[in-house]
Amino acid sequence: MGVHASHDDPLRVVVADDNEDAAQMLAELLELLGCSAFTAPNGAAAIELVARQRPHIAILDLDMPSVDGFQVVQAIKQRLRAHDCLCVCLSGKVFPHVERQAKEAGFDVVWAKPMRAEQLIDVLESRRRKRRAPAG
């Protein structure tokens, strides 16, 4: 798999999941793939972390207590105006109506748990290509 890890300016990725073990494992995988990964145990913490880190990618669980993934993505896209942050929905309950709701809320990508490594690698490579492309 052709993952190019740029350690000069790595992709910043926020992972928010109330299953802290799952979030930590994904963060460790992201770091092995050359990213800087940050975890949040809930939606409120995710909003604060995105505001502080300004990530290139946010991978958000939908079903978090208090502030859910729908609310987090809306905050990212509207209130934080982080429109260049690719928002990935990661949920164990991806049905057609949930996928539609996620897209309407502002998610760019919707993945079912368990996520496939190829999905992650494709998204990372896509973001890296976008960052290398000349502005214009």
What distance in Å separates the CA atoms of residue 10 and residue 31, rounded to the nearest whole number? Answer: 9
Q: How many CA atoms lie within 13 A of 121 on its CB side?
A: 9
- Reading the chain (136 residues) residue by residue, the pLDDT tens digits are 444 444 468 999 999 999 999 999 999 999 999 999 999 999 999 999 999 999 999 999 999 989 999 999 999 998 888 678 999 999 998 899 999 999 999 999 999 998 999 999 999 999 999 888 876 5
Written as six digits, the tokens of 14 are 């926020």
C-alpha distances in Å from residue 133, one per residue of 58, 95, 129, 136: 21, 35, 6, 9
Number of residues assigned to the chain: 136
Which residues lie below 8 Å from residue 97, measured CB to CB, with a gap of 6+?
Answer: none
90 sits in the region (left: phi over 0; alpha: psi -120 to 50; else beta) called beta
